[in-house]
Amino acid sequence: MTTGDGREDDPGIQFLARSLAKEVGISEAEARGLIKLIGTDWNSLVREAKIWKDLKGSAS
């Protein structure tokens, strides 16, 4: 479930999103989006976040 500002209210998801954002260098909002799409498997999240970051960087 999300809060009124669109943030996830589950502390575990918040922690995972913050950790992923810090590890890979994406925003917490992007991290939460990936978690919603992929689930909570850390290795999959890191892999896809790195791909996302590379694609986002090359599109600029």
The model's pTM is: 0.80
| Among 18, 22, 20, 16, residue whose Cα is nearest residue 47 | 20
* 43-52 tens-digit pLDDT: 999 999 999 9
* 5-19 tens-digit pLDDT: 555 578 999 999 999
Q: Residue 58: which pLDDT band, with cuts at 50, 70 and 90?
A: confident
Please report where in the chains the tokens 């799409």 appear, as a residue.
37
Residues 18/24, Cβ–Cβ less than 8 Å: no
Query: Is residue 27 helix, strand or coil?
Result: coil
Query: Is residue 40 helix, strand or coil?
Result: coil
